[in-house]
Structures are given as C-alpha cells and as structure tokens.
Chain A
C-alpha cells in the first residue's frame, strides 16, 4: 500500500477512536458525588474554624451538615464540570443555631472543586483568631475533591 493511503487510514482510525471514546464516556461528576464530598469537607473545615475562633465543643457530629446540589437551574442536567453548581447547605452553627447557606461551587473536569460559602454566615475571607491574629477563614473558600473510584 502507498504511504499516503496507510497514513490517511491511520489518521481516520485515530479520529474514529477519539469519537468513539467521546460517545462511550459517561459522566463521573454527579450530583450525589458532589454532595457526598462537599458536606463532610465543610463540616471538617467548620470544626477547624471553631478551633481558630476558640469555640469549644464543636465536632462534625454537632454540626450535622447536609447539602443538596443543583447545576445551572432545572433545565441543565446535574452532571459534569462547570462553574454553575449551587449547593444549599444545612447545618447547626457554633451557637447550635440552624443555618441554611448557599455555596457557589466550581467543579473542574479533574473532579476537584472550589466552593465559596455565604460570608454573612461563615464570615469573611479573614477572621481574627483567639489570640487576636488576623488569619485566613478556612470555610470562606476551599478546595476539595470528588471521589471518582
């Protein structure tokens, strides 16, 4: 066979292979996956924040965080990466009061995400610790990963 023929065939085969993988893929980033990752991560960081502020007796159990996530409103399928995930979080704050807060979540294709909390409830980007130092607020904005296997 002439080189031009084999080369064209090879390029077409690779193209077809890529097209097949695009068609055969199924989304790894799901609503359930994000909810399972986000709520415990927030709870862990909220305990961390309570430690910084010097508030005793806060554990992930007392916080009891749960979340419900949605991507881009009712018309968009709740799967895949994107900057338009919204997660409603419910938890008991460090005074034991029930809180509902909206988290804006950007999920990347590598299954990591960046979540930003509602600053009215979780505080601003920097907080004052129990010794009077100005430190970053761990729940203001945080990175996390969605389990994919």
Chain B
C-alpha cells in the first residue's frame, strides 16, 4: 500500500461531519489493513496463477489422475479439469483459502497487542466484530472467485471446449457443460462461508494466528476422514466438508439437488453457531490485561 493510498483511505474513513463513525468506517479500515498485508495480496496472486500452472502440468501428463472423480476424462474435455480441481481443492486447499485471512484477522490484534488501540476508537466492539467478519468473508469470496475463474478459463483455453461426459454416461453439450461447471464451483460458496466462520471463531478464541490458520485445515482433514468411513450416513451429512461434494448430483442425467439443499442447511448451521460464539467471545472479552 502506498502512502498516498493510505492517505486517501484515511480521508475517506474520516468524513468531515461530526457524526459518530459507524460500521462503514470500521469496515473501510479493515479493508485498508487487509490490502496492506503481503499475505493477502500473495494469496490472491497465487489463486490467479497457480491453477494455470496446475492445469498445464496435468494436461501435459500422459497418465491422468484417475483416482479422483473426472480425473480419467481431463484429456477429453476442458470441462472435466475444473471438476477434478474442485474435487481436489475441497480436500484441503479450500479450507486453507478460507482460513489464511479469517484465522488471523482477530488473533493478529493479539499478536501485535493492538486490541486496546482499536477498542478505544469511537466504534463499538460489535461494529469491529462485524467489520472484521465482513472483510474476511468478502476477501474469501473474492479469492474463491479468482481461483474458480482462473481454473475454468485456463482449462477451457488449454484443453478445449469439447462436450463433457456426465456422471450417468450422458453427453453434456459444451454450453450447458460450462454452465454446470460454473454452478459446481458456486456450490462451494456455502461451505467456504462455513469454514470462514470456523476460522474466525478459532481466531477469536485461541488468540493465535498460526492456530487460527492451521486448525481449520486440520479440522477439514479430520472431517474428510470421518466422512470416508462407511456406515456413518447421518454423521457425514452434518460435516462441513460434505457440501463440497454436493455438485455431483448436477451432473447426473436426472439431476438431483437433495445433497445441495442439505449442504446449504448444514453450512448455514455451522456459520451461525461459529459466528455467534465468536461474537459473544469478542463482546465479553476482558482486554485490560492485553
């Protein structure tokens, strides 16, 4: 962030009125702080560049990664690759993307010892909580969008836009396949929001940025492991990683959206519980010592 940009943001953050600054001002400051971090910019750049490299390398390989869904078909259609990438990314990349900023955004204030500084400003704790939460959510959705767009566009450009074979063996025409692939990535939004809320909660409770970033990834792995155990059909539905697989139904000859609706409800449940607990913790927290 250049000094000029900081100055202009500061000018924007302090309107020339005597009105008490609200959520908008707190939000603007959180965005300025986030935009100034090397980590947040690096992640955004990585989300843009890394998929292109991965798509090119996978496409160059003679042997396709046939143990993941759609892996066998990556050489046949440019629409198979983004689905393979989605299935692969759901294992740990998406929880990590969700946690890099969200896991740090509260705990970073502990690390720098700046809670007192921001809480003595004329905004309430609630406003600071929502400003941080909205910043983390907005950033994560931006990263997901960049990641998805980069994956889909590079796949179609590198491999081509031949029709896709669906999960009932049917042929899906190019235009329809593109819409379904975009929709499949859209279905990753609710669990990403859930993982963001989980990372925010851990960030608030542990007061440790490293823990706030690593723990959601580890929890995601543990959920994957639990979800791969046969016979836990109801338990698996309640896991935050299961909604990442709900797109499969869209690619059947007779599409079904039951798992999508369940996934939406489960993600909403996790989000509400995690955000609620985080809010209570921030409101009740005694910061006089730190």
Give residues in A with beta carbon < 8 Å to B. 18, 21-22, 24-28, 37, 40-45, 48, 80-82, 108-112, 136, 138, 141-145, 147-149
Whether A25 lies near B253 (C-beta < 8 A) is no
CB of B286 closer than 8 Å to a CB of A: no
List the A side residues contacting B259 at CB < 8 Å. 111, 148-149
Among residues of B, the one whose C-beta sits closest to the C-beta of A25 is B234
**Which of A22, A148, A149 contacts B232 (CB under 8 A)?**
A22
The CA-CA distance from A41 to B251 in the complex, in Å, is 12
Q: Can you identify 9 A-B contacts, CB atoms within 8 angstroms?
A: A22-B232, A22-B234, A26-B234, A37-B168, A37-B252, A40-B169, A40-B253, A112-B69, A145-B168
Whether A111 lies near B169 (C-beta < 8 A) is no
Among residues of A, the one whose C-beta sits closest to the C-beta of B166 is A44
Whether B165 lies near A48 (C-beta < 8 A) is yes
With contacts A22-B235, A48-B169, A147-B254 known, is A142 near B72, CB below 8 A?
Answer: yes
Closest-CB distance, B170 to chain A (whole angstroms): 5
CB of B175 closer than 8 Å to a CB of A: no
Closest-CB distance, A72 to chain B (whole angstroms): 11
CB of B149 closer than 8 Å to a CB of A: no
Q: Which of B252-276 contact A (CB under 8 A)?
A: 252-254, 256-259, 262
Closest-CB distance, B79 to chain A (whole angstroms): 14
Binary per-residue interface labels of chain B (83-103) against chain A in the complex, 1 for a CB within 8 Å, 0 otherwise? 000000000000000000000
Whether B233 lies near A45 (C-beta < 8 A) is no
The CA-CA distance from A111 to B247 in the complex, in Å, is 12
List the B side residues contacting A111 at CB < 8 Å. 248, 259
**Which of A42, A82, A109 contacts B236 (CB under 8 A)?**
A109
**Which of B75, B233, B248 contacts A26 (CB under 8 A)?**
B233
With contacts A25-B231, A25-B235, A80-B231 known, is A138 near B165, CB below 8 A?
Answer: yes
Whether A109 lies near B254 (C-beta < 8 A) is no
The CA-CA distance from A45 to B170 in the complex, in Å, is 7
Closest-CB distance, A29 to chain B (whole angstroms): 8
Whether A143 lies near B234 (C-beta < 8 A) is no
Closest-CB distance, A82 to chain B (whole angstroms): 6
Closest-CB distance, A22 to chain B (whole angstroms): 5
CB of B111 closer than 8 Å to a CB of A: no
The CA-CA distance from A22 to B133 in the complex, in Å, is 33
The CA-CA distance from A143 to B173 in the complex, in Å, is 18
The CA-CA distance from A143 to B251 in the complex, in Å, is 11
Among residues of A, the one whose C-beta sits closest to the C-beta of B238 is A21
Interface size on B, residues (CB 8 A): 36
List the A side residues contacting B230 at CB < 8 Å. 80-82, 109
Among residues of A, the one whose C-beta sits closest to the C-beta of B64 is A136
Closest-CB distance, A111 to chain B (whole angstroms): 7
With contacts A109-B228, A149-B256 known, is A42 near B169, CB below 8 A?
Answer: yes
List the B side residues contacting A148 at CB < 8 Å. 249, 256, 258-259
CB of B171 closer than 8 Å to a CB of A: yes
Among residues of A, the one whose C-beta sits closest to the C-beta of B246 is A110
- 8 nearest A-B residue pairs (beta carbon): A149-B258, A44-B169, A25-B234, A41-B169, A25-B233, A45-B169, A145-B167, A81-B230
Whether A112 lies near B232 (C-beta < 8 A) is no
Among residues of A, the one whose C-beta sits closest to the C-beta of B67 is A114
Whether A18 lies near B69 (C-beta < 8 A) is no
Among residues of A, the one whose C-beta sits closest to the C-beta of B234 is A25
Whether B231 lies near A27 (C-beta < 8 A) is yes
List the B side residues contacting A142 at CB < 8 Å. 72, 169
Whether B234 lies near A147 (C-beta < 8 A) is no
The CA-CA distance from A56 to B164 in the complex, in Å, is 22
Among residues of A, the one whose C-beta sits closest to the C-beta of B76 is A136
The CA-CA distance from A143 to B169 in the complex, in Å, is 8
Whether A143 lies near B72 (C-beta < 8 A) is yes
Among residues of B, the one whose C-beta sits closest to the C-beta of A47 is B169
Whether B248 lies near A18 (C-beta < 8 A) is no
The CA-CA distance from A147 to B249 in the complex, in Å, is 7
With contacts A25-B232, A136-B76 known, is A44 near B253, CB below 8 A?
Answer: yes
